[in-house]
Amino acid sequence: MTAKAGDWWKGAVTYQVYPRSFQDSNDDGIGDLPGITSRLPYLAGLGVDAVWLSPVFKSPMKDMGYDVSDYVDIDPVFGTLADFDTLIATAHGLGLKVIIDQVISHSSDQHPFFSESRASRDNPRADWYVWVDPSHDGTPPTNWLSVFGGPGWTWDGRRRQFYMHNFLSSQPDFNYHNPEVQDWALATLRFWLDRGVDGFRFDTVNYYFHDRKLRNNPADWRDPEEPPDNPYDMQDHMFDKNRPENLAWLTRVRALLDDYGAASVGEVGDTHHAIRLMGEYTAPGRLHQCYSFEMFGRKFTPGFFRDRIEGFFNGAPQGWPMWAFANHDVPRQVTRWLPYAVDQDSLAKLCGALLLSFEGSICLWEGEELGQTDTSLAFEELTDPQGIAFWPAPVGRDNTRTPMVWDGSANGGFTTGTPWLPVKPPQLARNVASQEGAQGSVLESYRAMLAFRRAEAGLRQGKTEFLPAPDPVLAFLRGDLLCLFNLGKEPVSLRFDGEGRQTGPAQGFGLSEASLRLDGNGYGFLRITGGRPSSG
């Protein structure tokens, strides 16, 4: 009998945990599963609904676990399967759901399947990865690029063919045109579902299929003022990913999830078609929700946020988004949007209130609830292959992945050993212990906003109606709740025509007669009790 997932995920808030950086329990300088388990009460107390764990599977760690060599075991650096089971049981006991990363578009080159596949052209797994003959002049068969720099193809002397990799050459892509690969991937998901996970976050969910005709990607139709940091962004990736065959595969995934009552979220990595793909991938019978990198840039204007939210729901009225302002791959929100800040704390609290007011589900990146900023790292401190490859351009990811800061002690209470990435004074100053219970702290403002979202049905599932407001004010209705945000540094006064009373968290917000005041980075909420509000 098919189970139903229910709708716990719809409008829920998920907290992303980066296992290497959350809590170290054995003093080796690397976070682990027992460490995460010990900190789950903190997450339950914060008020989130679910925890997303970045990969903890066996891996040579060339891409920090996103290069998997065994999909059904835990890497010893993180613990054991028994530790994983304890984490699941503890989370469930605290009322938290757990979703785990699934990196099944590619594997490590140290996975036994790839070792077998590259051995010959006629072995049982010869067609499990994407192998192609060279062009007549010996060059790769297409112009496809790697996200981490250089061609998306590497020559293998044993098969005398190129294999495809969207990321590192040590991360060969599976061939999803092969039904056996799809069947294996579903069996992998079933293994973790049987262990009690509540769902999956699918890494690079739009990368599973490639164009069988091996057509070259066209150039980006946009005309930037200068080349991007990464040449990968100079192509429109029509043929190395984003293929229509992906839709049928996602229906197979959804059918399995429905059997277990599990939920899903897909990561759509694309600079051209992300909102459209989010809608397609969350149509009925496919994934429950998707998020993209759309809000991970430096734009911070009312029009930008309105365009993304309206664009999604207008294009996919039956779909469901997950919105996020940051994750383990991009600079932190306060660092990116600092030009719009009155001060760091005010901006951090504004970001939390804004994100947690959006229609859809929400994902918070660890440490954002502290107003954390990126860490300034020297070249010799880097571990990220992307950061090393593009140094000194600011495209690395180590800066946002430094350890969670729990207190003001050495290494922030993360470890008594030497942390895998340093904890430096600017990050140490923003720790949990110093903000816990402190009125007006970023942490307490997040807790208040999370409690407000949980209590307000309109914020979790109400439709959004954007209202006219002068820049830099973003104004919209969620049900009978008027949400107002000043995305600039200067105070703004607005005429308010309507009847309402202030409710929920606020910062630099006031209502008197027919006038609203929003200080720089101010925000507030009004319960509309009569008439239709307008502002100007």
491 and 402: one domain?
no
Helix (H) or strand (E) holding 230: none
Contacts of 488 (CB under 8 A, 6+ apart): 340, 471, 472, 520, 521
Q: Give 443-498 as a DSSP string.
A: HHHHHHHHHHHHH-HHHHH--EEEE---TTEEEEEETTEEEEEE-SSS-EEEEEEE
> Is position 27 within any domain?
yes
Of 421, 453, 485, the domain-final residue:
453
Task: Name the pairing type of β-strands 473-478 and 481-486.
Answer: antiparallel
Identify whether 515 is part of a domain. Answer: yes
Pull the structure tokens for residue 172.
């060969």
- 302 and 393 share one domain: yes
Q: Which of 173, 198, 203, 329 is catalytic?
A: 203
Q: What is the DSSP string of 27-39?
A: SSSS--HHHHHHH
Q: Which residues is 378 bridged to in the sheet?
A: none
Task: Look at residue 145 and tell me if it is in a domain.
Answer: no
User: Alpha carbon 107 to chain centroid distance?
Assistant: 20
List beta partners, residue 42. Answer: none
> Which residues pair with residue 79 across a beta bridge?
none
Catalytic pick among 32, 267, 366, 398: 267
- Give the pair of three-digit tokens for residue 229: 């940091």
Q: Are residues 260 and 364 in the same domain?
A: yes
* Residue 483 shares a structural domain with residue 446: no
Instruction: Examine residue 137 and state whether it is found in any structural domain, yes or no.
Output: no
Of the residues 424, 453, 482, the one at which a domain ends: 453
Q: How many residues does the chain have?
A: 536
- Give backbone dihedrals phi and psi of 110, rounded to 5 degrees, phi first: -95, 5
- For residue 435, is it within any domain? yes
Structure tokens at 317: 């009225």
Q: Which two tokens stand for residue 499?
A: 């009847």
For position 360, what pLDDT does the model report?
97
Q: How many CA within 13 A on the CB side of residue 410? A: 7
Of 189, 17, 186, which is closest to residue 96 (Cα–Cα)? 17
Tokens encoding 19: 């296992």
Residue 117 phi, psi dihedral angles, 5° rounding: -65, -40
Q: How far apart are CA 490 and CA 514, in angstroms?
A: 20
Same domain, 368 and 471: no
- Residue 128 is assigned to a structural domain of this protein: no
Bridge pairing between strands 153-156 and 161-164: antiparallel
Q: How far is CA 494 from CA 13, 239, 474, in A?
A: 31, 49, 12
Q: Digits of tens for pLDDT over the chain (536 positions)?
A: 234 557 899 999 999 999 999 999 999 999 999 999 999 999 999 999 999 999 999 999 999 999 999 999 999 999 999 999 999 999 999 999 999 999 999 999 999 999 999 999 999 999 999 999 999 999 999 999 999 999 999 999 999 999 999 999 999 999 999 999 999 999 999 999 999 999 999 999 999 999 999 999 999 877 667 788 889 999 999 999 999 999 999 999 999 999 999 999 999 999 889 999 999 999 999 999 999 999 999 999 999 999 999 999 999 999 999 999 999 999 999 999 999 999 999 999 999 999 999 999 999 999 999 999 999 999 999 999 999 998 987 667 999 999 999 999 999 999 999 999 999 999 999 999 999 999 999 999 999 999 999 999 999 989 999 999 999 999 999 999 999 999 999 999 998 888 889 999 999 999 887 789 999 999 999 999 875 666 55
Q: What domain count does the chain have?
A: 2
Task: Give CA–CA dist 119/471, Å, rounded.
Answer: 61
Can you give the CATH number for the domain in which 327 is found?
Answer: 3.20.20.80
Kindly state whether residue 121 falls inside one of the protein's structural domains.
no
442 with 528, same domain?
no
Our answer to whether residue 380 is catalytic in this structure is no
Gap between the Cα atoms of 260 and 255, Å rounded: 9
Q: What is the CATH number of the domain that holds 526?
A: 2.60.40.1180
The CA-based diameter of the chain, rounded to the nearest angstrom, is: 79
- Same-domain check for residues 215 and 296: yes
Residue with tokens 């917000």: 509
Would you say residue 279 lies in a domain?
yes
Q: How far apart are CA 144 and CA 449, in angstroms?
A: 44
Residues 6+ apart with CB under 8 A from 196: 85, 88, 89, 92, 98
446 shares its domain with 474:
no
Following CA atoms 59, 61, 65, 67 in sequence, which dihedral angle do they give, to the nearest 10 degrees? -70
Domain span including residue 518: 462-535
- At 351, is the secondary structure helix, strand, or coil? helix
Phi/psi at 36 (5° precision): -60, -45
User: Does residue 431 share a domain with residue 348?
Assistant: yes
Phi and psi at 237, nearest 5°, equal -85, 70
Task: Tell me how crowded residue 439 is: count the other CB atoms within 10 A of its CB.
Answer: 6
pLDDT at 534: 62
pLDDT (tens digit, 9 = 90+) per residue, 102-160?
Answer: 999 999 999 999 999 999 999 999 999 999 999 999 999 999 999 999 999 999 999 99
Is 488 found in the same domain as 400?
no
Q: Any idea what the Cα angle at residue 419 is, between residues 414 and 423, rounded to 5°?
A: 70
Give me the long-range contacts of 34-40 (CB less than 8 A, separation at least 24): 34/79, 34/83, 34/86, 36/87, 37/83, 37/86, 37/87, 37/90, 39/406, 40/87, 40/90, 40/91, 40/94, 40/96
Cα distance from N-terminal residue to C-terminal residue, the chain: 55
Angle (deg, nearest 10), helices 274-281 and 246-260: 50
Are 40 and 94 contacting, i.e. CB atoms less than 8 angstroms apart?
yes
Run of H or E residues at 279: helix 274-281
Task: Decide if 141 contacts 132 (C-beta within 8 A).
Answer: yes
Last residue of a domain, one of 427, 453, 479: 453
Q: Look at the alpha carbons of 205, 209, 211, 216 in this order and tell me if their dihedral is positive or negative.
A: positive
Identify the residue whose tokens are 């679910």: 50
418 in the same domain as 527: no
**Do residue 331 and residue 242 come from a single domain?**
yes
Question: Distance between CA atoms of 233 and 164, rounded to whole angstroms?
Answer: 18
Residue 203 is a catalytic residue:
yes
CB atoms within 10 A of CB 234: 14
- 112, with CB counted inside 10 A (0-12, 13-18, 19+), is exposed
Rounded-to-integer distance, Cα 191 and Cα 81, Å:
12
